[in-house]
Structure 1
Amino acid sequence: MSQQFSVAAVQAAPCFLDLKAGIDKAIHFIEQAAASGAKLVVFPETWLPGYPNHIWLGPVAWQMQFVGRYFENSLVAGSEEDKALAEAARDNHIQVSMGLSERAGGSLYIAQWHYDQDGEIIKRRRKLKPTHVERTVFGNGDGSDLHVADTSLGSIGQLCCWEHIQPLTKYAMYSQNEQIHCAAWPNLALYESTAYALGHQVNNAASQVYAVEGGCFVVAPCALVSKEQQDILCQENPERMALCPTGGGYSKIYAPDGQSIGSNIDHDAEGLVLADIDLGMIAYAKAAADPAGHYARPDVTRLLFNNNPQRPVMKFDQTAGLQIDPIEEPPEPILVAE
């Protein structure tokens, strides 16, 4: 297993409501990351086809103008767009964590798809609980989405946005000995002047604390709002423009001791945040504190963790009995993480 290598976080505006252009732009960044020597590249939350900022900017009746276009430009597993991302991962021999809006039947989910360097899917996960008004657009994930995968680069997991302020969700991930964490964030410009909790200070702190608590590396990409996206969303309305300024990209990479490592770019600039990581550092962090290991007190507090898939439809077969129809094979159940 490789111990030292480079990772990349993508900071870029999405091609809002244009999936084809978004795929082309994603492939560009995959190629750029690979050319820079990165073995893993991580994209922001719902970067394809862009985070739905409109749900925060106006009444439901006004938002409806975006519903059909957002649905049609969301990704379907096994689609040509999915295959194009897999091919880009394979051609550039790089692992890819893509943040996207997943379309399954008539529903949408905040998803992260993890491709290995051969273009094979490692994991398709969904955000366990969309945050606040996100629930007007997206459905829920389940316990099978809290999964850390063993890969050729190490143990890699993924979460989105405010899943990083859910203590039990984080603990479930820590219990799986995560080494590299893909923390996907949307743009951090929205409500910047009116809601401190949604700003980059708090949200980057959540990624930083995750690195220290989990004793792992955290790759935290963040999208930004372009002038083009602002024009589509705000339609020259001064109030909406004030709530949705351009910029808002604050991508970071953190080491297991909480240090911000690697390159830095301005919040309104597109590019890659690159860092060299050494998995050997994790042993030192874990020696100090391993909250789901030697630093735990299971006689006082424990986490009940049901990681079985929960689907709306289960099929009954006369010979095989009750059968669940998951997105993929479920991991082995974890009943209690101490």
Structure 2
Amino acid sequence: MNFTRKVRAAAVQISPVLFSRQGTTEKVLESIDKAAQMGAELVVFPETFIPYYPYFSFVQPPVLMGKEHLRLYEEAVEVPSPVTEAVSQAARSHQIVVVLGINEREGGSLYNTQLIFDADGTLALKRRKITPTYHERMVWGQGDGAGLKVVDTAVGKLGALACWEHYNPLARFALMAQHEQIHCAQFPGSMVGQIFADQMEVTIRHHALEAGCFVVNATGWLSPEQVAEITTDEKLQKALSGGCCTTIISPEGNILHPPITDGEGIAIADLDFALITKRKRMMDSVGHYSRPDLLQLQVNSSQWAVVSGGGDLPTPPYGHPSEEGIFSPLYKPG
């Protein structure tokens, strides 16, 4: 593991092209090109950015959101598909690692999915948000532990979580235990108001300190015109404002680029991996500061399926310690 390198990272705050998978994808490709021109080796986009975050579910009751939910189905992204191929080609062309949030469609279900493309265009990780939050449960299905994985990439060991997954300390610890060097965080943005941005900053700075890693955080943004497209109710429009905090945090909890809180923009910072060692020398949560004789985490890292390979119903998995100090299941469905 290289602790002496430096990596230039970019976090993109951007608005989608509402109701258009193609339009939003084109904006992603343009932003990858911009980030690459700025010397970025890693670029992170907001949560479920293609085609757009389901803001409708936050301001409409379930009985009224059927039309918008179906429209999201039509514009959602399959993996693989022309969208993922286009992003893969852009990553490969610019030799840049891309972390992208999508609404993924698989059959009759949608998922909040994070994709990590390595600099050679390879899809290094596809993970699904393990528990959709509040209103999101009417939109997306649940992910599984197979996505709680840190992957080796051209810029180092990357982990990723979406939005309020950062309030699940065990999910964060599962990534910390795999020694993530850069944590890629994604939030929707343009929701709830300034309090959401304030809480977000506290959350990502805390993870950087606790994990001893860099955090690259990207949030989406809606223009006033887009908010009016989502709802004409002025009271509800207030719920679709603020909540943006696109920034980059060091392992010591310092802000490396002033948070972008309004409008579109790209946060850029150089990540000096020597700061990881500097932080962990003082406090390594999964090393000399841990107490595995007292506290351990068990992780079911199986990718679950509705049918197992042998035709039998899956049975609860039980784990044993792996070499990395986290728990892995004995049973893996076919």
Q: Deviation of residue 334 (structure 1)?
A: 7.0
* Correspondences of 1:207-286 after superposition (within 5 Å): 207-234=204-231, 236-245=232-241, 247-262=242-257, 264-265=259-260, 267-286=261-280
Task: Name the counterpart of 2:299.
Answer: 305
Structure 1 length-normalised TM = 0.89
Which whole-Å CA distance do the structure 1 matches of 2:146 and 2:109 have between them?
18
* Correspondences of 1:1-338 after superposition (within 5 Å): 3-187=5-189, 189-192=190-193, 196=195, 199-234=196-231, 236-245=232-241, 247-262=242-257, 264-265=259-260, 267-316=261-310, 336=327
AA aligned to 2:218 is P
Name the SS of the counterpart of 2:119 in structure 1. coil
Q: Give the direction of change, closer, same or farther, for the CA distance of 1:127–1:174 in structure 2 (3 Å limit).
A: same
- Conserved? CA contact 1:306–1:333, under 8 Å: no
AA aligned to 1:227 is P
Name the SS of the counterpart of 1:90 in structure 2. helix
AA aligned to 1:136 is M
- Conserved? CA contact 1:109–1:138, under 8 Å: yes
Task: Name the counterpart of 2:317.
Answer: none
Q: Deviation of residue 263 (structure 1)?
A: 5.0
Q: Deviation of residue 264 (structure 1)?
A: 4.6
Q: Give the direction of change, closer, same or farther, for the CA distance of 1:204–1:259 in structure 2 (3 Å limit).
A: same
- Conserved? CA contact 1:42–1:98, under 8 Å: yes
Name the SS of the counterpart of 2:85 in structure 1. helix
- Conserved? CA contact 1:315–1:322, under 8 Å: no
- Conserved? CA contact 2:177–2:325, under 8 Å: no
Which whole-Å CA distance do the structure 2 matches of 1:200 and 1:249 have between them?
5
Q: Deviation of residue 300 (structure 1)?
A: 2.0
AA aligned to 1:5 is V
Which whole-Å CA distance do the structure 2 matches of 1:100 and 1:27 have between them?
14
Q: Give the direction of change, closer, same or farther, for the CA distance of 1:293–1:333 in structure 2 (3 Å limit).
A: closer
- Conserved? CA contact 1:307–1:334, under 8 Å: no
Which whole-Å CA distance do the structure 2 matches of 1:334 and 1:284 have between them?
22
Which whole-Å CA distance do the structure 1 matches of 2:197 and 2:172 have between them?
20
* CA-to-aligned-CA distance 1:277-331 (integer Å, 9 cap, x gap): 11121111111111111111122221111212112222338xxx999xxxxxxx9
Q: Deviation of residue 100 (structure 1)?
A: 0.9
Q: Deviation of residue 156 (structure 1)?
A: 0.5
Q: Give the direction of change, closer, same or farther, for the CA distance of 1:27–1:332 in structure 2 (3 Å limit).
A: farther
Name the SS of the counterpart of 2:292 in structure 1. coil
Name the SS of the counterpart of 1:304 in structure 2. coil
* CA-to-aligned-CA distance 1:183-241 (integer Å, 9 cap, x gap): 01111x32227xx4xx111111101100000000000011111223212211x212221
Task: Name the counterpart of 1:328.
Answer: none
Structure 1 segments, 4+ long, off by >6 Å, are: 331-334
Same amino acid, percent of matched pairs? 35
Which whole-Å CA distance do the structure 1 matches of 2:15 and 2:243 have between them?
10
Which whole-Å CA distance do the structure 2 matches of 1:159 and 1:249 have between them?
17
- Conserved? CA contact 1:11–1:272, under 8 Å: yes
Which whole-Å CA distance do the structure 2 matches of 1:110 and 1:332 have between them?
30
- Conserved? CA contact 1:307–1:333, under 8 Å: no
Structure 2 length-normalised TM = 0.90
* CA-to-aligned-CA distance 1:247-277 (integer Å, 9 cap, x gap): 5432010000000003554x22211000011
Which whole-Å CA distance do the structure 1 matches of 2:324 and 2:271 have between them?
31
AA aligned to 1:336 is F
Q: Give the direction of change, closer, same or farther, for the CA distance of 1:281–1:21 in structure 2 (3 Å limit).
A: same
- Conserved? CA contact 1:306–1:334, under 8 Å: no
Q: Deviation of residue 332 (structure 1)?
A: 9.5
AA aligned to 1:224 is W
AA aligned to 2:289 is Y
Name the SS of the counterpart of 1:191 in structure 2. coil
Which whole-Å CA distance do the structure 1 matches of 2:88 and 2:224 have between them?
30
- Conserved? CA contact 1:3–1:278, under 8 Å: yes
Q: Unpaired segments of 5 or more residues in structure 1?
A: 324-330
* CA-to-aligned-CA distance 1:13-46 (integer Å, 9 cap, x gap): 1112200001100000000000000000000101
Name the SS of the counterpart of 2:310 in structure 1. strand
